[in-house]
Homo-oligomer: A and B are copies of this chain.
Amino acid sequence: MPQAPAAQAGRKPSRIQLRNRKRILEAALEVFSTHGYRGATLDQIAAEAGLSKPNILYYFDGKEEIHVTLLNQLLDAWLAPLHAIDPAGDPLDEILTYVRRKLAMSRDLPRESRLFANEILQGAPRMGPHLESVLKPLVDQTSMIIQGWIAAGRLSPVDPRHLLFSIWATTQHYADFEAQVGVLMGEVDVHAGASAHLEAMFGRLLRPNAAMG
């Protein structure tokens, strides 16, 4: 049976395959992130990728597979900064570094942020299981680390999960709500201001009350 590279797990992909799959995913990221899953069409993705629609379906089994591929691929990159938190490091420094990294990602990878936001907004229909199996354990683990720091008096007491929500919300806001931020901020260097603001905010929240005894 010849012909069938759509989702074959067996053979190793050819050069052309590698190149075209990458092109398609890049185009799909652009289109999905701006229009959402339903709002994106295969024709748009095809045009953006410079390929014909049937050709796209030669590499992926369908619209949904492209979307899911993108999403799962994204989640790993998305969680990398969280993995990078070092329990042995300085608590405040670890968390502020995390904030900085997340903010940088919002600036450098806004489409990824919006793709993710779109998916969650609609109830994570194509990602629910992944969140449960990948995100949740990591968050539980990170929460434990933060709890440990708090117990050791090295961090002001906060709910670790709500802290993470705050960090995600504030950093991703600059990507996800860019249209609104743009209207309100004009030409100003948004990133610099955001960086200073968030560092001050999380710094004050987390820095333990110096003395105390």
Say which one of A17-25, A49-57, A61-69, A180-188 lies at the interface with B: A180-188
Copies held by the complex:
2
Contact partners of A196 in chain B: CB under 8 A: 159
**Is there contact, CB below 8 Å, between B37 and A120?**
no
A84 at the B interface (CB under 8 A): no
Q: How far is the CB of A126 from chain B (nearest CB, A)?
A: 11
**Is there contact, CB below 8 Å, between B36 and A183?**
no
Distance in angstroms between the alpha carbons of A158 and B120 in the assembled complex: 31
A141 at the B interface (CB under 8 A): no
A4 at the B interface (CB under 8 A): no
**Is there contact, CB below 8 Å, between A183 and B136?**
yes
Q: List 9 A-B contacts (CB under 8 A).
A: A39-B39, A122-B179, A124-B179, A124-B180, A124-B183, A135-B183, A159-B193, A161-B185, A165-B181
